[in-house]
Amino acid sequence: MSKEKQSGKEKQDISRRQFLSYSIMGVGGFMAAATVMPMLRMAIDPVLKAEASGDFIATNVKVDEITTEPQRVDFNFEQKDGWYESTVTQTAWVYKDENGEIVALSPICKHLGCTVSWNSSDNYPDKFYCPCHKGVYDKDGTNVPGTPPRGPLDRYQYQINDGVLYLSRRASEVGGE
Amino acid sequence: MKWNARDATVFFNEKEYIDTVCIPLVPIAFEGDGKTAANESEFIDLVTRAIEKQFKGRILLLPPFIYFRSSEEELSRLFDYWENYIENGYFKHIIFITSNPFWQKVINGNYKVIWLPSIPLEHLDESTKLRVINNQAEQVIDHIIHHWQEVERRNNLQKK
């Protein structure tokens, strides 16, 4: 800017007043940019981050510990909603089916969203049971007809790294099974 | 369900399934035992959230009812409102959750008051807190299931 001042002196085509107003505009522009940019970033941020949400989360379960009996697995991850950071705890019922494939079922009842658990009712042994409206699911998550649920339990996707079970953040619907 | 915009849509569509309303009773005090009151508030808030997660499809969790310890006696009026809702068949079960033993004395009638002595949370780290709260919530969950079964059994007997 000092250069500008010198050139102003030589040519006399820029007055002190003009120079000051230009420099105020310049500084003001930087200040405006400094406040607006973070706001823009904040607005665009979730869009940029969307890709990373498909990450898999490590559980504290080793793959060889998984039996054919469904076990409850809790796993946590951090979630950011604007300014609000929270720890999300997800639960899965994990077991190996007859082919040795790992199945990770969501405990969220497909009726109205209560939490179901395995083998918790004496009347429904070896079933997933929802205590709210007596919804019943088979071991593979299929809803038993005649009970309130409208579809099979959702499933988490899984990965195995170094013998440890990793699960997807969200469970997804099982289509047409 | 929570008392918010998204859950309200489900609530009004599926009303026949959501027969239980849960009201956390939360104390406010700005002198004397204010710190205890704040701890009780957080404790009750966390436990009721855990319960709501478990019973999302049957329980409507309302925002906490805030009371000043100095005016507890006036609050019996609250129950007159709820008495109406039960009598009109709007809800079958009304559950109050509190850390204050006082409420068990006040409430009698068609309500269920679950009293939980609060646990000091101030010095707990997050994971311990989560475990403590889940343990407490599990006890309440069993309590509520038992309450539902009990009322159902009683109603069936009356029908016969």
The amino acid at A111: H
Q: What sign does the dihedral B57-B59-B62-B66 (CA atoms) show?
A: negative
Which carries the bigger pLDDT value, residue A90 or residue B88?
A90
pLDDT recorded at residue B104: 74
Residue of B nearest to A107 (CA): B54
Q: CB of A95 within 8 A of CB of A103?
A: yes
Shortest distance between the Cα of B51 and any Cα of chain A, in A, equals 10
Give the residue with greater pLDDT, B148 vs B77: B148
Residue B104 or residue B8, greater confidence: B8
Q: In the β-sheet with A164-168, what is the strand arrangement from edge to edge?
A: A56-62, A164-168, A158-161
Mean pLDDT of the A126-155 span: 92
* Domain spans in chain B, listed from the N-terminal domain onward: 5-159
Q: What are B's interface residues with A at a Cβ cutoff of 8 A? A: 10, 14, 17-18, 53-58, 126, 130, 145, 148
Q: What is the third-level CATH fold of B5-159?
A: Rossmann fold (3.40.50)
Residue B35 neighbours by CB under 8 Å, 6+ apart: none
Identify which has the larger pLDDT, B79 or B120.
B120
Residue A125 has pLDDT above 50, yes or no: yes
Bridge partners, residue B28, by sequence: B68
Q: Which among A109, A112, A131 is the nearest to B10, CB-wise? A: A112
B59 to chain A: closest CA residue: A132
Does residue B47 have a pLDDT over 50? Answer: yes
- Integer Cα distance of B59 and B114 in angstroms: 15
Pair of tokens at residue A59:
């559980």
Q: Residue A148: its chain B contacts at CB < 8 A? A: 17
The one-character DSSP state at B70 is: G
Contact (CB<8Å) B130/A112: no
DSSP 8-state code for residue B2: B
Model pLDDT, residue A152: 94
Average pLDDT, chain B: 86
**The amino acid at B129:** K
Helices B34-54/B126-159 angle, 10° precision: 60
- A80-115 pLDDT, tens digit per residue, is 877 788 888 899 999 999 998 999 999 999 999 999
CA distances (Å), origin A66, targets A62, A125, A174: 7, 20, 22
pLDDT confidence tier of residue A177, bands split at 50, 70 and 90: very low
Note the pLDDT of residue A144: 92
Alpha-carbon distance of B110 to A22, in angstroms, equals 75
Q: Are A95 and A71 a contacting pair, CB within 8 Å?
A: yes
pLDDT level of residue B74 (50, 70, 90 thresholds): low
Mean pLDDT of the B106-119 span? 80
